[in-house]
């Protein structure tokens, strides 16, 4: 095989579908690949025929020019696929297996991996702990919005679906296991959501919707979702969430009080990140808004789950501080209220097997919650454009037409 269509970052606001060549079990030089990773042999890896791969809000940050991603970077870190080639050192994953790929790349050998902190593996990114496919400053591992992709450390990382036929019947749910379902769940879980909790989720994009559904699965008595986009709020209401239109209201506590009878919640989750806007009419970008708002409305002693992405380099930041990820956060408020903050990438492997079982046994309907919408790889540029306009959809790319319509 030689051809391999892939979705590529083509400059600010642009993506294109290009042939990048069939992968092998070596990390070759290319856009964004760390020079110290070039030539890295991966006989512990596999080649996947990609069955589904999803467009993520994190990809959108790069496409908007809000990171230092280089042109030509192959996008995509949410990957589900069939194993078609196995490296010499792979023992337990076999050709024909249908698998979910955690977006964190992890070796399974370092101290962090042994402590289940696979989001900060020490061996996959020469610049700093932690890595991901198709993402800026993450070591340069080639993205998976493609027909074929190489995945390293296969025995350790890959989640094999026990029954391929059953998995294909639920593939629009299972494709969310690579990132947004574990990420949303991690946000709710790390915020301390439990039976009876009242929860505020900032952001009704796919991760926010996944966090809201996860809070329901964890037993929350009320889940409130806030956003500036009425269409996305309608999607949140479609599976039982209360909502607040933040384009119309600038006092979050007052709106929560109208719903709960008090202006505070037990737990809060930030699913917006560094491109946050202020609240109310005439809102504009104000990156610390969400973090300050959730401190304000979370009860004393509460926990804040923060799966929303924050970066150390943002060329489009609103001021010089924002461009290096320095935000004006009311940390004294969080300290005074004895809040617990949980940040960083989600360690997918802590959650994906349990969430898979919830999907396969009909307990979780994540595809419905995030409005999973199937597109071809050639439609990916339009999917990015629609997502950037605020479409209340989670776009799932089907590179080979494998998914039954």
155: how many CB neighbours lie within 10 A of its CB?
Answer: 16
- Asked if residue 73 lies in contact with residue 59, where contact means CB atoms within 8 angstroms, the answer is no
Compute CA 274 distance to the chain's CA centroid, rounded to the nearest angstrom. 14
Q: E strand or H helix at 388, and its extent? A: helix 380-388
- Asked if residue 343 lies in contact with residue 305, where contact means CB atoms within 8 angstroms, the answer is no
Radius of gyration of the chain (CA): 20
Which ranges constitute the DSSP H helices of 64-203? Answer: 111-114, 154-157, 164-169, 171-174, 180-190
The confidence score (pLDDT) of residue 4 equals 97
- Asked if residue 197 lies in contact with residue 267, where contact means CB atoms within 8 angstroms, the answer is yes
Residue 212 CB contacts under 8 Å (≥ 6 apart), including other chains:
184, 199, 201, 204, 223, 225, 236, 239, 241, 369
The confidence score (pLDDT) of residue 282 equals 85
- Asked if residue 371 lies in contact with residue 364, where contact means CB atoms within 8 angstroms, the answer is no
pTM (two decimals) = 0.96
Strands 46-54 and 148-151: antiparallel
The confidence score (pLDDT) of residue 49 equals 98
- Asked if residue 257 lies in contact with residue 263, where contact means CB atoms within 8 angstroms, the answer is yes
Q: What is the DSSP string of 240-307?
A: T-EEEETTT-S-HHHHHHHHHSSS-EEEEEE-S-TT-B-SSTT--B-TTHHHHHHHHHEEEEEEEEE-
The confidence score (pLDDT) of residue 1 equals 58
The confidence score (pLDDT) of residue 147 equals 98
* CA distances to 9, 12, 58, 74, 397 from 69, in Å: 8, 10, 12, 10, 22
Domains of the chain: 5-179+347-397 (3.90.180.10), 181-343 (3.40.50.720)
Strands 242-245 and 222-227: parallel
Per-residue pLDDT tens listing for the chain (405 residues): 568 999 999 999 999 999 999 999 999 999 999 999 999 999 999 999 999 999 999 999 999 999 999 999 999 999 999 999 999 999 999 999 999 999 999 999 999 999 999 999 999 999 999 999 999 999 999 999 999 999 999 999 999 999 999 999 999 999 999 999 999 999 999 999 999 999 999 999 999 999 999 999 999 999 999 999 999 999 999 999 999 999 999 999 999 999 999 999 999 999 999 999 999 988 899 999 999 999 999 999 999 999 999 988 889 999 999 999 999 999 999 999 999 999 999 999 999 999 999 999 999 999 999 999 999 999 999 999 999 999 999 999 999 999 987
The confidence score (pLDDT) of residue 2 equals 67
The three-point CA angle 109-111-116 to 5° equals 85
- Asked if residue 358 lies in contact with residue 176, where contact means CB atoms within 8 angstroms, the answer is no
Structure tokens at 160: 């094999």
Structure tokens at 359: 């999907």
- Asked if residue 149 lies in contact with residue 50, where contact means CB atoms within 8 angstroms, the answer is yes
* CA distances to 226, 368, 374 from 229, in Å: 9, 19, 22
Which ranges constitute the DSSP H helices of 123-240? Answer: 154-157, 164-169, 171-174, 180-190, 206-217, 230-237
């Amino acid at each position: 095989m030689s051809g391999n269509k892939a979705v590529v970052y083509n400059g600010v606001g642009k993506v294109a579908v290009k042939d990048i060549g069939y992968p092998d079990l070596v990390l070759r030089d290319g856009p964004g690949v760390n020079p110290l990773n070039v030539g890295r042999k991966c006989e512990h890896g596999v080649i996947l025929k990609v069955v589904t791969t999803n467009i993520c809000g994190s990809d959108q940050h790069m496409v908007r020019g809000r990171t230092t991603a280089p042109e030509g970077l192959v996008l995509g870190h949410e990957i589900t696929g069939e194993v078609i080639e196995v490296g010499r050192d792979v023992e337990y994953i076999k050709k024909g297996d249908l698998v979910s790929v955690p977006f964190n790349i992890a070796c399974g050998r370092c101290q962090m991996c042994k402590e289940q902190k696979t989001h900060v593996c020490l061996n996959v990114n020469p610049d700093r702990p932690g890595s991901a496919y198709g993402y800026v400053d993450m070591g340069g591992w080639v993205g998976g919005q493609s027909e074929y992709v190489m995945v390293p450390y296969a025995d350790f990382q890959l989640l094999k679906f026990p029954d391929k036929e059953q998995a294909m019947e639920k593939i629009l749910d299972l494709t969310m296991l690579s990132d947004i379902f574990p990420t949303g769940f991690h946000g709710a879980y790390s915020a301390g959501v439990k039976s009876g909790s009242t929860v505020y989720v900032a952001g009704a994009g796919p991760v926010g919707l996944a966090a809201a559904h996860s809070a329901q699965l964890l037993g929350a008595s009320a889940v409130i979702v806030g956003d500036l986009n009425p269409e996305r709020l309608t999607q949140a209401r479609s599976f039982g969430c209360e909502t607040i239109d933040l384009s119309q209201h600038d006092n979050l506590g007052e709106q929560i009080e109208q719903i709960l009878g008090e202006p505070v919640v037990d737990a809060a989750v930030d699913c917006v990140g560094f491109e946050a806007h202020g609240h109310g009419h005439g809102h504009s970008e104000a990156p610390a808004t969400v973090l300050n708002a959730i401190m304000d409305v979370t009860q004393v002693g509460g926990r804040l789950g923060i799966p929303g992405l924050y970066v150390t380099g943002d060329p489009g930041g609103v001021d010089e501080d924002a461009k290096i990820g320095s935000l004006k956060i009311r940390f004294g408020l969080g300290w005074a209220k004895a809040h617990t903050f949980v940040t960083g990438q989600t360690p997918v492997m802590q959650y994906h097997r349990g969430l898979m079982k919830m999907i396969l046994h009909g307990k979780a309907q994540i595809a419905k919650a995030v409005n999973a919408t199937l597109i071809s790889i050639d439609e990916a540029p339009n999917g990015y454009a629609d997502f950037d306009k605020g479409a209340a959809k989670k776009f799932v790319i089907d590179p080979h037409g494998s998914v039954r319509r």
